[in-house]
């Protein structure tokens, strides 16, 4: 595997991870009223580091799609299991998951995390599917001129 592929995956993972965490923090602030939300420096640092680690997990686990011997549903399951496993570990470590509030809020947190994971996975899936369609179209056009 080439180093530039790993660097691209790590970069994309860090970017998407930070984007999602900032989106969640912004939505939380909007819902609760920005004047009622204060993030400490420690929370911002935890959000930054945690989002990068989780982004890396999802992104590097996505390398499974390069192995065409594994069925697509198993590839998806593998990527989501690795990504979500790291997310839950990071969330428990940094206190993002409301463990002290009981099982109800934890289940709600997990469901919301799964929904975010599915939405972003589907967005990337559609992006790459449309990109492949465009590339195939260009290849067909090039072949028709020969």
pLDDT for 1 equals 65
Residues 1-16: what's their mean pLDDT? Answer: 88
Kindly write down the DSSP assignment for every residue of the chain, as one continuous string. Answer: --HHHHHHHHHHHHHHHHHHHHHHHHHHHHHH-GGG----HHHHHHHHHHHHHHHHHHHHHGGGGG-TTS-HHHHHHHHHHHHHHHHHHHHHHHT-S-GGG-HHHHHHHHHHHHHHHHHHHHHHHHHHHHHHHHHHHHHHHHHHH-
From the list 42, 41, 57, 46, the residue with the least C-alpha distance to 21 is 46
- Higher per-residue confidence, 105 vs 145: 105
For the chain, give every domain's residue range.
Answer: 3-145
Distance, in Å, from the CA atom of 103 to the CA atom of 129, rounded to the nearest integer, reads 38
Whole-number Cα distances in Å, 131 to 12, 104, 143: 17, 41, 18
The string of pLDDT tens digits covering residues 84-143 is 999 999 999 998 888 888 899 999 989 988 998 899 889 988 998 999 999 999 888 888
The pTM is what?
Answer: 0.80
The string of pLDDT tens digits covering residues 21-72 is 998 888 888 888 888 888 888 999 999 999 999 999 999 999 999 899 999 9
């Amino acid at each position: 595997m080439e180093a530039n592929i790993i660097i691209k995956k790590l970069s994309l993972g860090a970017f998407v991870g930070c984007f999602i965490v900032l989106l969640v923090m912004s939505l939380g602030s909007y819902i609760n009223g920005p004047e009622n939300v204060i993030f400490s420096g420690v929370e911002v640092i935890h959000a930054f580091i945690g989002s990068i680690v989780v982004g890396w997990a999802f992104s590097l686990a996505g390398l499974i799609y390069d192995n065409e011997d594994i069925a697509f549903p198993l590839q998806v399951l593998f990527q989501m299991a690795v990504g979500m496993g790291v997310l839950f570990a990071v969330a428990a470590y940094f206190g993002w998951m409301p463990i002290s509030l009981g099982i109800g809020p934890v289940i709600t947190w997990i469901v919301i995390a799964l929904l975010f994971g599915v939405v972003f996975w589907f967005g990337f899936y559609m992006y790459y599917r449309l990109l492949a369609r465009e590339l195939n179209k260009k290849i067909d056009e090039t072949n028709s001129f020969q």
